[in-house]
Amino acid sequence: MQLTALSGSRREIGLAHGRAHAARIQRSVAVYDRLFHDFAGLGWADARREAERFTALIERGFPTILDEMDGIAAGAGLDLLDILTLNCRSEISLTRASGGCSAFALKQRGEQWLAQNWDWRADQLDNVVALQIESEDAAPLVSIGEAGMVAKIGLNANGLGVCLNAIRSRTCGEGLPIHVALRKILESPDFDSALRVATHDRVCSPAHFLLASHDGRAAGLEVHPGEPGRLEPQRGVVTHTNHFVEPTVTCQVADFPRPDSRPRLARLDALLQARLPDETEVTERALFEVLSDHHGAPLAICRHHNPDQPPEERIETLFAVVMNLNARRLTLRHGKPCESADDLTVSLAEPAGKPTP
């Protein structure tokens, strides 16, 4: 996996993204064309029409990101609506289909960590990209996600990071699309600003955003068009998989998780609790071992091919990420963390005048 460096104006960033990953972006369009057909009975033209209705919500909450999407489209030889459709794929498809993903925040010995596996259809494995973005109006950031999308999982030079868990629900309302909201969070100067993306801008479809920052703050935000539910750390830990748990959300929003979501969450809690009492030093290697756990396989934290599932329902772990927010360091394993031998590590320079507590 290579890191792609993007910089300049919004449109320049988009153009560079589109040109560098044109083939991957075009393959992503083909993947989601099939996915929309499998789960929503929509052709690509129908999906484009569905995505178009989110333009006004983005113009209200994050208008400049549309310039970047337009640049991505131009660079990849596509239309803006194609890129908008990729970036609204959760709103179009995840009301019918849920992903996997196991995520956690951990604070130990004064260091704040974020980590997760991203589980999705195997035909997106080769369309994963690592982007380092330096725009003219935000701190540098690193995002690991799908080609053609403006963001997913990552951190910024302010020491703020975010992870994502998909939630299957039929709810969709006013707010920013999930991946647009993630990019706005990654451009936030601090933890409180990132919180306001969920509480003020709102997110138009359900998901879980796991936020943490270098100053030791962390929260799980179960977002939806209303007031998000908030999960506070317990003994320095926040964990989440693919179902809602916060009572103020579960009483308002119906979700439809896969049967493995709750067992994976229980296993994640057990693994992290086993590591806490001795206050041992946390390392990337140790956290990748958690993400490599196969208890309950094939529907484990580290998810492998399961031939017993229908083809359209099969999802696997496509990448794993561990972030040390104090060091502004992100380490990526492309593919399953139990198999991948090559780590990509990216470190961002701390902004001048912002000493780490």
Q: Is residue 176 part of a domain?
A: yes
**What is the helix (H) or strand (E) element at residue 351, kind and residue range?**
none
Mean pLDDT of the chain: 93
Concatenated DSSP letters of 317-341: EEEEEEEETTTTEEEEEES-TTT--
281 falls in which pLDDT band (50, 70, 90)?
confident
Give the span between the Cα atoms of 81 and 50, in whole angstroms. 10
CB 61 within 8 A of CB 176: yes
Which region among 62-66, 171-175, 325-329 has the lowest average model confidence (pLDDT)?
171-175
Preceding peptide of 298 cis, ω within 30°: yes
pLDDT at 276: 65
Q: Is residue 314 part of a domain?
A: yes
Q: What integer is the mean pLDDT of 281-297?
A: 94
Residue 205 sits in a domain whose CATH number is: 3.60.60.10
Concatenated DSSP letters of 153-191: EEEETTSEEEEEEE--BS---SSB-HHHHHHHHHT-SSH
For the cut 50, the answer to whether the pLDDT of residue 213 exceeds it is: yes
Q: What integer is the mean pLDDT of 266-273?
A: 95
Q: Is residue 341 part of a domain?
A: yes
Q: Is residue 356 part of a domain?
A: no
217: domain range? 99-347
The tokens for 264 are 């994976």
For the cut 50, the answer to whether the pLDDT of residue 357 exceeds it is: no
298 falls in which pLDDT band (50, 70, 90)?
confident
Report the percentage of the chain scoring pLDDT > 90.
Answer: 82
Q: Is residue 355 part of a domain?
A: no
Q: Is residue 229 part of a domain?
A: yes
Q: Is residue 250 part of a domain?
A: yes
User: How remote is the C-alpha of 260 from its chain's centroid?
Assistant: 20
Give the pLDDT confidence of 97-140 residue by residue, as tens digits: 556 799 999 999 999 999 999 999 999 999 999 999 999 999 99
Q: What integer is the mean pLDDT of 130-151?
A: 97
Concatenated DSSP letters of 39-72: HH---HHHHHHHHHTTHHHHHHH-TTHHHHHHHH
356 falls in which pLDDT band (50, 70, 90)?
very low
Q: Is residue 134 part of a domain?
A: yes
278 falls in which pLDDT band (50, 70, 90)?
low
Q: Domains in the chain: how many in total?
A: 1
CB 91 within 8 A of CB 149: no
Q: Which of 296, 316, 318 is nearest to 306 (CA)?
A: 316
